[in-house]
Amino acid sequence: MPSKTALMAVFLVLSIFNLLVGYAETHAEVKGESSCAQDAGPSLLQLRTQSSLFNAPKEEPLAIIPAPKSVLRKKGVLEIPRITVDAPAALVRTLEEFIGPTVTSEDAFFQLRLKDVKLGEEGCVLNVSDRVVIEAASEHGLFHGVMTVRQLLQKDSNSNDLNGSRWKIPRVEIRDEPALHWRGLMLDVSRHFFYPADVKHLLRTMALFKMNHFHWHLTDDQGWRFPVAKYPNLIRLGAFRRASPLGHTDRTDNTPYNHSYTELEIEDVISFAESLYIQVVPEFDLPGHSQAAIASYPELGNFDSSEHWEPQVATSFGALPYTLSPSEKSVNFTKDVLSEMARLFEKSSYIHIGGDEVSTSQWSKSPVALEVARENNVGLSHLEGMMLEKASNHLHDLHRNAVVWDDALDSANSLPQGTVVMIWREFVGLGKQGDKAAARGHSVVLAPSEHAYFDRWQDQKHAEFDAICCFTPLSRVYDTPIRAGRANVLGIQGQLWSEYIRQGARNLDYMAWPRGCALAEVAWSGEQRPGFQDFRERLQKRTQEICFALEKNPRFFTKR
């Protein structure tokens, strides 16, 4: 019986071909384990690409994603009978995870060395001659070198080795380093939940393409997903909603939805991310998008704004009116949650505190909110800024930096200098928002809605899965801007909002890839990226590696 992971690999590979080659209606089925390859006949991958890297003309460029900074192609290929390694222990585990079983040896084919190669913390030099030698100033850089090797390394189809352990790799010298530091994806687990195995699956694929920041959107109106010991109702009540929206209608499915992570599960995901040199950036969205928290503890909301105050976890999507009260009780709640988040995510230097789409409608009817605004001599819209400033200053005291959505620039004028602004509102203007952030001393991460929102359609026929709206094809993602006025741009990030990513990990894969590959190249190669057509050709050859990221032994496929 095919494994779930194998089926996911099948689906993703075919989805990529649908998008790249125009086979919008193509599907696939697993024919068996890789040991049954002879029975299965030619794979779909072989039929579509016609030739492998090593049967192609010698002048054909190497198909590496993201494109390296500098490549010197040498003559011929290096044949490797088995994977022998001389490397730091953590990188030996990486080789085993991404390539296969290894044998430690001082006279190894794979030699990974810590050395200052003048390419920064994440840069590396890969030299393939009679050995595969990777040199870097840090283990993070060596890790990136292994990811490049994984894309170059191929099984020798002509080998007589019954164990299939003979490999080939082109002789090459590569010097590489990223253009941007922050290369990330955001996953919303509030609207629809993703199990730890699904999250780790996404992280592993990110790592293959050298992405290094995972933004975990853990709270929103539709569900609270992480435990806070002081506030048990956040899970007991806040993780449960009575129903979910039914497609793009006003109706619901009348099906209870109740999911959350345990502390141990979160720690496991964090540990896995660390092994891939990916920093996890957790998000507690405040003071808006807080209906699940208010449903758990109604006194945290603007209970004095209505005669009938019975908040429930949201069963609809969109920007909803529930906001945390600006009262001392609610402010202390936000500090308690952030303290717990800092404890649980102890190695995360950034914590996202939201600040987007905050309604003032309940504040305008709340005597408590009106009094807080009067005492501080601010308008209602600036109550948001006050709460974000208190939250970010609390994080500063915990030696963490806050991240906020760029909406916060409209209401918060005194955020700590280390606060990072994540600009999503492309319709307001990246340059305008970047200049505003720069004037206040904030660096930015670009998350532009028209280029990097992966919850939108990527095929015009809408052949696979649902989407929130619009059309964001691969080519548009490849044109993602990396400048925002005078701002210091730390990097770029793709957003996987999950209102309509509701069919599990397979659905998530389809929305994330191959658009995530395009974003990874933009972030890594920057202004030096070689162009969309070049990228597209390389991506067609990398489909097997995307499959590998999902399943160590890619299956053989046939057209149904």
pLDDT for position 560? 18
| pLDDT tens digits, one per residue of 105-141 | 888 999 999 999 999 999 999 999 999 999 999 999 9
What amino acid positions are annotated as catalytic residues? 357
In which band, very low, low, confident or very high, does the pLDDT at 541 lie, cut at 50, 70 and 90? confident
Asked if 446 and 453 touch (Cβ cutoff 8 Å), the reply is no
Strands 154-155, 124-128: pairing is unpaired
Q: Of 519, 530, 546, 527, give the one whose Cα is nearest residue 184.
A: 519
For residue 9 the two structure tokens come to 């690999």
| pLDDT over 50 (residue 33) | no
Share of the chain above pLDDT 70, in %: 84
Share of the chain above pLDDT 90, in %: 78
Q: Where are the beta strands (DSSP E) in 1-69?
A: 28-30
| pLDDT over 50 (residue 42) | no
- Rounded to whole angstroms, the Cα distance separating 364 from 38 reads 71
| pLDDT over 50 (residue 54) | no
| pLDDT tens digits, one per residue of 158-180 | 655 545 558 899 999 999 999 99
pLDDT for position 96? 92
- Rounded to whole angstroms, the Cα distance separating 409 from 328 reads 23
| pLDDT over 70 (residue 331) | yes
The CA-CA-CA angle for residues 475, 481, 485, to 5°, reads 165
Higher pLDDT, 103 or 10: 103
pLDDT for position 95? 93
393: Cβ–Cβ under 8 A, 6 or more apart, which residues? Answer: 416
| pLDDT over 60 (residue 352) | yes
Phi, psi of 85 (to 5 degrees): -135, 150
Q: How confident is the prediction for the chain on average, in pLDDT?
A: 87
pLDDT for position 106? 83
Q: Of 39, 38, 42, 29, give the one whose Cα is nearest residue 1.
A: 29
- Rounded to whole angstroms, the Cα distance separating 55 from 160 reads 17
Asked if 520 and 478 touch (Cβ cutoff 8 Å), the reply is no
pLDDT for position 17? 47
20: Cβ–Cβ under 8 A, 6 or more apart, which residues? Answer: 474, 514, 536, 539, 540
- Rounded to whole angstroms, the Cα distance separating 237 from 297 reads 9
| pLDDT over 70 (residue 77) | yes
pLDDT for position 160? 52
Residue with tokens 């209505």: 306
| pLDDT over 80 (residue 3) | no
For residue 1 the two structure tokens come to 């019986």
The DSSP element (H or E) to which 157 belongs, if any, is: none
- Rounded to whole angstroms, the Cα distance separating 219 from 234 reads 10
